[in-house]
Amino acid sequence: MINYNANISIQERTENFAIRVIKAYFELNKRPFDDAAKILSKQFLRSGTSIGANCSEAKYAQSNKDFINKYSIALKEANETIYWIKIMIKSELVSK
């Protein structure tokens, strides 16, 4: 079960999420001759790990505008990650 502790920083949450994404990526790529899994999991890996990278960059933003931009990118990447998860579930590549 996931512990949603409000005391954990967004950087730590997104880092933990990225680690889960990486583990899921490795599991999806254990399937031999499954090109769909390889392609979708790579997209999922890129967007899922990008969330934390952008939040980490925002921590050292040079201005408020830069800070907002980094978090806006992180939000877009989070939405893309949700999309890939939905596609993988609906295509029965993974279980809900």
Q: Which residue has the tokens 């769909």?
A: 36
**HEC states along 34-59?**
CHHHHHHHHHHHHHHHHHHHHHHHHC
- Whether the model clears a pTM of 0.75, i.e. scores above it, the answer is yes
Q: Which domains does the chain have, with CATH numbers?
A: 34-96 (1.20.1440.60)
Q: Which residue has the tokens 């005391």?
A: 7
Q: What percent of the chain has pLDDT over 90?
A: 77
Q: How far is CA 39 from the centre of its chain?
A: 15
- The answer to whether 56 and 77 have CB atoms below 8 angstroms apart is no
Mind listing the pLDDT tens digit for each residue in 15-46? 999 999 999 999 998 887 789 889 999 999 99
Handedness of CA 33, 24, 84, 61 (dihedral sign): negative
